[in-house]
Amino acid sequence: MNIYTFKDEEGFVQTAANQITSLLNANPYAKLGLATGSTPVGLYNKLIEMHRQGLVSFANATTYNLDEYVGLPKDHAESYRTFMNEKLFNHIDINKEQTHIPNGNAEDLEDECRSYDRMLEQNGPIDIQLLGIGHNGHIAFNEPAESLTSGTHITTLQAKTREANARFFPSIDDVPTHAITMGVGSIMKARQIMMLIRGEDKAEIAKRALTGPVSTDCPASLLQCHPNVIVLLDQGAGRYFK
């Protein structure tokens, strides 16, 4: 595991963007695992900028998102399909038919989970998987538990996770209670994992995940077992890694 801290936002997002653009320039058909939330927005802005400068093309790339809320229409302002379209896909030359996000409105959610896993198995492995981390150590929507599910599954969002996401909704009551998420086993199959951690409020969980015991009580700690992980922390989140 390689851990880097940055004093400024530009260095943080440029380093992350370089990881992805270098991969695409070497392999235009690369498979990208993407994430949502506020943490990767700066990265996506940088990728759009580099694309407009002619430094990278996404024309032949395929993307797989980690998760989606259950019950939100795909065109809902806070759905992860809307997020990805607005924050990245609408601004680059990617074929949207090659962008995959779990369907949180499938008639049969269990079948959707199985279908997503089959797709990942048939088309994988993902070349680089982007991750953030929740305040409770979750990755994607794999919440702390006595045991974790390996494949794509439906998960009940913990109160802390819903509270963290409430800022994107009119009220906490509007935050979905369930999500469909890629499992830890699927995440761990990626050739490389890049975790982005931002903010002083993530410093404690970053320390626990990256240096503490490996435990399902902190799902992100399982990344210590992966052979190719790069972690980028901003100055606040990297307080213990200077």
- In tens, the pLDDT along 138-175 reads 999 999 999 999 999 999 998 988 998 898 899 999 99
For the ranges 98-102, 168-172, 223-227, which has the lowest average pLDDT?
A: 168-172
| DSSP one-letter code for 158 | P
Active site residue 138: yes
Question: In what helix (H) or strand (E) does residue 18 lie, and over which residues does it extend?
Answer: helix 9-26
Domain boundaries, the chain: 2-241
Q: Pick the catalytic residue from 51, 65, 112, 138.
A: 138
Does pLDDT of 108 surpass 80?
yes
Query: In the chain, what is the straight-line distance between the N-terminal and C-terminal CA atoms, in Å?
Result: 16
Active site residue 143: yes
Active site residue 110: no
Six token digits for residue 161 = 């996770």
Q: Pick the catalytic residue from 68, 127, 143, 234.
A: 143
- Average pLDDT across the chain, whole number: 96
* pTM summary value: 0.95
Does pLDDT of 242 surpass 80?
no
Contacts of 77 by beta carbon, 8 Å cutoff, 6+ apart = none
Do the bridges between strand 178-181 and strand 128-131 make them parallel or antiparallel, or are there none, so unpaired? unpaired
Q: Pick the catalytic residue from 67, 68, 117, 127.
A: 67
Residues above pLDDT 70, as percent of the chain: 100
Strands across the sheet with 178-181, in order? 67-69, 178-181, 153-156
Q: 2-241: which CATH architecture?
A: 3-Layer(aba) Sandwich (3.40)
Taking the C-alpha atoms of residue 211 and residue 114, their distance in angstroms, rounded to an integer, is: 33
Report pLDDT for 74: 84
Does pLDDT of 8 surpass 80?
yes
- In tens, the pLDDT along 52-93 reads 999 999 999 999 999 999 999 888 999 999 999 999 999 999
- In tens, the pLDDT along 126-143 reads 999 999 999 999 999 999
Report pLDDT for 215: 96
What mean pLDDT is predicted for residues 86-108?
97
Does pLDDT of 33 surpass 80?
yes
Six token digits for residue 165 = 């996401």
